[in-house]
Structure 1
Amino acid sequence: MNALYDTHCHIDFQVFDEDRERVLKSAAEVGVERFMVPGVSAEQWPRVQQLAEQFSSWRFALGLHPWFIEKHNLNQLKELEKVLDTTHKRLRAVGEIGLDATCDNSELQRELFIEQLKLARHYRLPIIIHHRKTLETTHPLVKQYGPESGVIHAFSGSYEQAMKFVDCGYKLGVGGVITYARAQKTRQAITKVPLSSLVLETDSPDMPICGYQGQRNEPARIVEVLKVLADLREMSTDALSDVLWKNSCELFNDVPPASNDHESG
């Protein structure tokens, strides 16, 4: 079974506290050998780091997510810089950061986003970008302030929008959206972009897969995304998963796992 990399999942969230070991085991059974767990707020960062120490299959990122803007302040950027300066072996990105038109305090959002882009560039780390109705405003900031690599989480735009980021060296996170036939614009875009620009993600516990609406999402369901993407790209799942694994490892400067990497330890 080819290795799979869930490049975006929030399995540190409390909703997984009662059965996290089972969730990870189920994912491992279908080939998921790596998990990227992004940070969303300063108060959550220690928890992410602690769990990443417990599970060797985890990689993590730290960032200030716009959904939690009421918890953020500019002083937290110093805390972020301090942690980035430690070069923790499993800290592989800055994120989840971005702009969200449905959240308040757009000026603080913008300032925090720009400063985190600068930090990522300074530490030569990729970024994990959240966007909602902000792709057009996000791109010029990434181009001006951001690092040379990153991923557009839960990409749901047009081919033209996709290529703006691909041309900057960024990858597109492909998740549950493409399992819905109605998502024609996004499905067409990810069918046409270079295969080297795609990675898989679940956004667990969110971004439900078609057929599982109303249920908590889990990393094991990344296989459903893989199947749909293989159909859209007219490839076998084996050939596709091999490329996506390489793309993911390249994105996060990762290396192939040991045979027991999915075990806790």
Structure 2
Amino acid sequence: MWIDTHCHLDAREFGGDSLGVAARALDKGVGMIVIPAIDRGNWEAVRVLGTAAGNASYAIGIHPICVPAATEDDLAAMRDTVREALGDPNFVAIGEVGLDFFLPQLCTPEMRDKQVLFFREQLKIAREFGLPVLTHVRKSQDQVLKHVRQIPPAGGIAHAFNGSFQQAQGYIDIGFKLGFGGNLTFTRALQIRRLAEQLPLSAIVMETDAPDIAPHWVHPGVNTPDQVPGIAEVLAQLRGIGLDELRDATTANAHAVMPRLGALTGMRGP
């Protein structure tokens, strides 16, 4: 089966048909979808979807784009929510967390500092409970690396990776995997395609970031998790390997970096 390690299945772009979206992905061989949260307001939504969809799981976190409106009470609530969620087999990671130094409103000194504070506190929660993290890394590769080295979680995924080979190796060295999706289907995305082609296969996991980052044959439309096999076909061609080999490797990589996910998919069968 394929695993979509990053899909915002609760997004409004799916028009209330999230379960249908998940079912259509399952029909295409996507046996598991990981749904990251973005703020306190959607923790319950991702939990419900991660339970209701037969091929989904979820993560809890506060996205850097949501940090401006977040409070320290949200961090306290997150710790309590994570503690309670440990008894739920559908709960697999902390995320989406990280740093975004691309959007102007997030780049003021005050907002940069607040992002760092929230990222570090969420890393502490991940470390406390022995959980991997799903990281948002935009114009902040070195900064994210610095903080995860200082507060190392139990592994993680650098979502939508678009850094240098040196930065990629930095993530690999601390036990992270690197997420690749629709961006690599664009021939003009030269750096992403080089990374996807040349990085160790053991470091790569598949993702869509649906409803965003659609492959070229969907862009500018709404991305969906059933696009994973098509994206993977492009990646397999870039690497010169068979589609089955890529599927088996990336699925094993996702299980390795998210042990609770491996246990969950094992319970549900192939």
**Shorter-chain TM-score tier:** over 0.9
Deviation for aligned residue 1:148: 3.2
Does residue 74 (structure 1) correspond to residue 38 (structure 2)? The answer is no
Residue 259 of structure 1, CA deviation: 6.5
Q: Percent identity?
A: 32
Deviation of the 1:164 alpha carbon = 0.8
8 Å CA contact retained: 1:158, 1:186: no
Q: Using the alignment, how far apart are the partners of 2:126 and 2:16 within structure 1?
A: 34
Runs (5+) with no aligned partner, structure 2: none
Match of 1:195 among 190, 201, 205: 201
> In the alignment, what sits opposite 2:94?
94
Whole-Å separation in 2 of the counterparts to 1:258 and 1:109: 37
Alignment partners' CA distance in 1, 2:116 and 2:98: 8
Structure 1 consecutive aligned stretches of length 4 or more whose deviation exceeds 6 Å: none
- Bigger fraction of residues in helix: 2
Measured in 1, the distance between the counterparts of 2:18 and 2:94 equals 24
Give the whole-Å Cα distance in 2 for the aligned partners of 1:95 and 1:258.
Answer: 23
Contact 1:99 1:113 in 2 (8 A): yes
Q: Which amino acid aligns with 1:96?
A: E
- Write the letter of the residue equivalent to 1:186: I
Q: Deviations over 1:91-133 (max 9, x none)?
A: 1111100100124211110000001011101111000000110
- Corresponding position: 1:170 with 2:168: no
Q: Judge which range, 117-126 or 97-106, deviates more.
A: 97-106
Q: Tell me whether 194-203 or 14-23 shows the greater mean CA deviation.
A: 14-23
Contact 2:38–2:95 under 8 Å retained in 1: yes
Deviations 1:168-195 (A, max 9, x none): 1100001111111111112112222221
TM-score, normalising length: structure 1: 0.93
Letter in 2 for 1:202: T
Secondary structure at 2:187's aligned position in 1?
A: coil
Residues 24 and 260 of structure 1, relative CA distance in 2, 3 Å threshold: farther
How many equivalent residue pairs?
A: 259
Task: Provide the residue aligned with 2:230 in structure 1.
Answer: 224
- Which of 240, 248, 257 is 1:242 aligned to? 248
Q: For 1:90, give the aligned amino acid.
A: N
Alignment of structure 1 residues 101-120 onto 2, 5 Å:
101=101, 102=103, 103-104=105-106, 105-120=111-126
Compute the displacement of 1:41 (Å): 0.4
1:60 and 1:194, CA in 2 relative to 1: closer, same or farther beyond 3 A? same
SS of alignment partner, residue 85 of structure 1: helix
Superposition deviation, residue 260 in structure 1: 7.5
2:186 to 166, 173, 180: 180
**TM-score (norm: length of structure 2):** 0.91
Change (3 A) 1:55 1:260: farther
Q: Secondary structure, in 3 states, of the residue corresponding to 1:82?
A: helix
Q: How far apart are 1:20 and its partner, in Å? A: 2.2
Equivalent AA in structure 1 for residue 44 of structure 2: P
Determine which of 58, 61, 67 is the counterpart of 2:59. Answer: 61
Name the aligned partner's letter for residue 96 of structure 2: E
Q: Per-residue displacement from partner, 1:198-219 (whole Å, max 9, x unpaired)?
A: 1000001001111211200000
Tell me the equivalent position of 1:34: 32
Moved more, 93-102 or 51-60: 51-60
RMSD of Structure 2 on Structure 1 (CA): 1.5
CA distance in 2, matches of 1:55, 1:211: 26
